[in-house]
Amino acid sequence: MIDGTKSNPFIEWGRAILLAAGLAFIIRIFLFEPYLVEGSSMDPTLHDGERLFVNKASFMIGDLERGDIVIIDGEEKNIHYVKRVIGLPGDEIEVENHQLLINGQMFKEPYLQLNEEKAAEQGTFLMENFKTISVPEHEIFVMGDNRANSMDSRNGLGSIAIGQVAGKAEFVFFPFEKIRKPK
């Protein structure tokens, strides 16, 4: 059976637009959100001016792991930091002889190779030594990949409450010629 009444195309378009806007709002609030990388603290993994999508949903279900790149909400509104998770709750973190130790074991960080080579060329070290830091429960220890030029858990941010983590970086989507999943 066919209904003989005609629907108003403006009402139909209005409904479609409202549905699309509602879905976009829900996706942005609960699932994915774009962020702008500002500064060089994550070079060479992420560069100033790149835009990345952050997965908020995977973090909400609790799969935060060492090595993840996360967005951290700062104390001030609209201030965010992008850093790499180094220590999880209960971990002991230290740098001895310019090597990262986690729970007394040397931790390999292959994503730092280029920065380590640059530091060696300049006759310096990528990281300065620091004594053991215990990561409190419900907090994480983070560092930027550009260790010589990063404000992070070592020198200003301190350990980060897990509730301050906005989500995990999933992929760089701009500039378009550099679309990739950060390692």
Query: Active-site positions?
Result: 41, 83
Which secondary-structure segment (H or E) carries 114?
helix 113-121
Let me know: does 144 contact 41? Beta carbons within 8 Å.
yes
Three-class secondary structure of residue 13 per DSSP: helix
Strand intervals (E) in the chain: 32-36, 51-55, 69-73, 80-87, 92-96, 99-102, 105-106, 130-134, 139-143, 160-161, 165-174
Cα-based distances in Å from 143 to 42, 101, 127, 153, 179: 9, 13, 11, 6, 23
